[in-house]
Structure 1
Amino acid sequence: MNRLIKKGVPSLLTLSLGLLVISMFQGCHSSEGKNETAAVVDEPEPTEVFALQKGKLSSSLRIPGELVAYRDVDLYAKVSGFIKSIHADVGTEVREGQLLALAEAPELNAQLAAAESKLKAQEALYIASKSNYDRYVDAAKTPGTVAQSMLEQTLAKKESDYAQLQAAKAAYREVSDLRKYLEIRAPFSGIISLRNVSTGAYIGPSGKGSELPLFVLTEQKRLRLVVAVPEAYTGYVNQNDEVSFTVKAFPDRKFTGKVKRLAGALDKRLRSERTEVDVENNDRKLLPGMIAEVTIPLPTKSNTFVVPKSAVINSSTGVFIVKVLNQKAEWIPVQKGLENGDQVEIFGDLKEGDQIMTTATEEVRNGSAVRSVKQAS
């Protein structure tokens, strides 16, 4: 028994020593692995920056607009009467001065006859007084035959009759001009878009015949495209700029026009400027009242700083970009301009060559350390 125990002691001792060596080796290896992991975790990722440069950014503004007639007029009656004949209907294309309808007013004919009679009577009185004055003038050439007072009286009578004659002529012209208003004519070339009278209908400047216009005349071959440009974009729109637009009736066709009129003031309610675009419409496919989707090009007028949108921070206190200077982050307040895709104009206390953080977040605090950087590719 003792012999067996003595033989077993070296074996147990050897086994214990082997286990101790293995555990020490494993502990050492585990410690080295932990140190390597800690080293990897402690090393920060480099911050990507880019050098600020100026560029020219072109963008476009898409806003709705409305097509209106270049000229649109309601035609009413100037004098009372009845429609005698109609020479145009809805859809009729008319020329300037063309007769649209003819009215009749018997009382005007009577007034014209009376004015003409009075004019002829006054012409006769003037001829008589002028002849009488001329006789006195001839007689006065012989001294002592005609008193000066008689000569003056005949002259006054002649001048009075002449004034009455001019008044009679004016009264005749007035009635004659009123009769011309019985002819309803087109003030410009266009198309009749509405008709509210028929033959025999009563018309007049007041009363039942004046509630609705006789005709509505619309110029269609040239239209106005009216758009409201928001305040922020008014500085980019100028006269003669070409714009494009589409309408729902022709979704696959693009129309163009030129900016011709700018209101020069903002609408107090919408805070936008009324802008009118002239559109040629010779084929009359476009109709007044259509809603258009307008695309207005907005090219920048000068070189400005252009950065990716990811470099801009929109915080509750304002808009900023992060500049890296002397391994520190510096928040620079800026204002945004035009945007196009992932690019945006910025304006602020900046200069070319400034190192700007490509992807800026509010986690990078103002004044925090930036230990390593890399240039954006």
Structure 2
Amino acid sequence: MNNTVLIPRFLVFALPFALLLNGCSSAEKPQVVAETAPMEAKMETFSLGKDKLKDTLHLPAELVANQEVDIYAKVTSFVKDLKVDVGSEVKAGQLLMLLEAPEISSQLVAARSKVKSLEATYKATKASYERTVEASKTEGAIARDALDQITARKNSDLAQLEAAKAALQEIRAMESYLELRAPFSGVITARNVDKGAYVGPSGKGSQQPLLTLQEQKNLRLVVSVPEANLPYIDPTKEVTFTVRSLPQTTFSGKIKRKAGALDQRLRSERIEIDVANTNKDLMPRMIATARIPLSSKDSTFVVPKMAVIDTDEGIFVLKMEGGEMKKIPVKKGREQNGKVEIYGNLNRGDKLQVKAMPPMIGGAMMKK
């Protein structure tokens, strides 16, 4: 006896479709929950209040010497002797280099001789003048013309003597240029000549400076601060910074100078921080990362960053008013730790939407 059970053909095809529909209905249920939760969260509001954002601005900076000068020869000459080399520490007024110029020495000898000659001439003329004046006191002894002539000669000889002395002083000044002395205390960081080199003013025998002198015990940290951050800089706060060669060490200083104008190219203001470098851990031209504390002088409206919508239409927040969401245009200020400053037609205590998502724009719950 055959016990085979015959299943109708339409049941064979209907069973898989039934299983498929059952699976789809079970998969759709979590989606409804997932869409409902964000919609409820979007309606969450908060009360608007004022606060002060305190932030730290991180900017690249450069260390420069407090004083730095390239030393050139003032007159055309030759290097006679070098008293310093690269790395030499010098004091203000110390002799750095001795030059020689034979023509200056010859001019000095000639000028001295001329002064002595004119001094002798003037002494003789002055003695003659004094005798003539004394004799003129006797009526009729000296003619008036003779007295006038000797007076004019005395004045002329005196003028020539004064001119010769001035020329001698000028040559002595040129001779002093042959001694190059340090204008301030510092370190010699470059030497570009040797003994016997022909030197002169920049472009006339010296394409490069003879020596470069830097003051390294005191440095300046130079930072360019963008225009948007300038109102929040407090000069009384310390600025800290680090350098690449000493990442584990933090240095500090206070703002001492501000340019008071914006750089034409960077649209930023140059500020300088004085840095003591007694131990010479730092060097000029080091690149640093400066951390400048920023603070607000007045409190402003501060909201979560998610409460601000930035679209092509503009920047705005959603304000709950009369049971409806109203779009309020605002301007953004600084951002910090998920918060942002806003400026607009708002009042303390206004109810703003916490998560003002763009999909809500144009919905039934919001109006302009």
Alignment TM-score, normalising by the size of structure 2: 0.85
Following the alignment from structure 2 to structure 1, what is the Cα–Cα distance between the partners of residues 323 and 183?
76
Pick one of 282, 289, 295 that aligns with 1:286. Answer: 282
Change (3 A) 1:74 1:85: same
**Residues 1:228 and 2:230 are matched in the alignment:** no
Instruction: Note if 1:345 corresponds to 2:345.
Output: no
Superposed displacement of residue 197, structure 1: 1.3
Describe how 1:141-290 pairs up with structure 2 within 5 A.
Answer: 141-205=137-201, 209-290=205-286
Q: What TM-score do the two structures reach when normalised by structure 1? A: 0.83
Task: Check the 8 A contact 2:82/2:97 in 1, yes or no.
Answer: yes
Q: Is the 8 A contact 2:320 2:353 kept in 1?
A: yes
Q: Secondary structure at the match of 1:300?
A: coil
Q: Distance in 1 between matches of 2:363 and 2:318?
A: 10
Secondary structure at 1:210 match in 2: coil
2:82 counterpart (83, 86, 93): 86
Deviations 1:207-256 (A, max 9, x none): 77311111000111111211111111122225454211111000011111
How many angstroms apart in 2 are the aligned matches of 1:132 and 1:238? 78
Partner of residue 47 from structure 2, selected from 51, 55, 58: 51
1:97 aligns with 2:105: no
> Which shows bigger deviation, 120-129 or 269-278?
269-278
Residue 73, structure 1, aligned to residue 69, structure 2: yes
State the Cα deviation string for residues 317-351 of structure 1 (Å, max 9, x = none).
Answer: 22111110111111111111122211111111111
Q: The residue matched to 1:220 in structure 2 has which SS?
A: strand
Residue 119 of structure 1 corresponds to 115
Displacement of 1:265: 1.9
Aligned equivalents of 1:72, 1:365: Cα separation in 2 = 61
Q: Are the counterparts in 1 of residues 42 and 355 from structure 2 also a CA contact under 8 Å?
A: no
Aligned-residue offset at 1:206: 6.4
Residues 176-225 of structure 1 deviation map (CA, whole Å, 9 limit, x = unaligned): 11111111111111100000111222222267731111100011111121
Partner of 2:132: 136
Task: Give runs of aligned pairs for residues 25-36 of structure 1, distance below 5 A.
Answer: none
The percent of aligned pairs where both chains have the same amino acid is 51
Give the alignment partner of residue 360 of structure 2, picking from 344, 361, 364. 364
Q: Secondary structure at the match of 2:86?
A: coil
Q: Deviations over 1:245-273 (max 9, x none)?
A: 11100001111122222222222222222
How many angstroms does 1:150 deviate by?
1.5
Corresponding residue SS for 2:174: helix
- 1:38-95 deviations in Å (ceiling 9; x for gaps): xx99x96782111111111101111111111121111011122222221111011111
1:195 partner amino acid: R
SS at match of 1:71: strand
1: CA distance, partners of 2:114 / 2:252: 62
Structure 2 distance, partners of 1:353, 1:366, is 25
Unaligned runs of at least 5 residues, structure 2 = 1-32
Structure ID, larger Rg:
1
- Which blocks of at least 5 consecutive residues in structure 1 are unaligned? 1-36, 371-377
Residue 322 (1) aligns with residue 318 (2): yes
Letter in 2 for 1:168: A
Match of 1:304 in 2: 300
Deviation at 1:363, TM superposition (A): 2.0
What amino acid is the match of 2:298? S
Q: Deviations over 1:279-331 (max 9, x none)?
A: 11111111111111111111011111111111111111221111101111111
1:331 to 327, 331, 350: 327
SS in 2 for 1:72: strand
Structure 1 position 352, deviation (Å): 0.5
Instruction: Name the structure 1 match of 2:4.
Output: none
- 2:54 maps to a residue whose letter is S
* Mapped partners of 1:173, 1:297: distance in 2: 57
CA distance in 2 between counterparts of 1:267 and 1:366 reads 44
Query: Contact 2:72 / 2:202 at 8 angstroms: preserved in 1?
Result: no
What's the secondary structure of 1:209's corresponding residue? coil
Using a 3 Å threshold, how does the CA distance of structure 1 residues 106 and 240 change in structure 2: closer, same or farther?
Answer: farther
Query: What amino acid maps onto 2:185 in structure 1?
Result: S
Q: Count matched residues.
A: 331
Deviation at 1:106, TM superposition (A): 2.2
Inter-partner Cα distance in structure 1 for 2:131 and 2:364:
117
**Does the 8 A contact of 2:42 with 2:357 survive in 1?**
no
Q: SS where residue 223 of structure 1 aligns? A: strand
- Using the alignment, how far apart are the partners of 1:165 and 1:354 within structure 2? 92
CA change 1:230–1:44 in 2 (3 A) is closer
Whether the 8 Å CA contact 1:229–1:272 is kept in 2: the answer is: yes
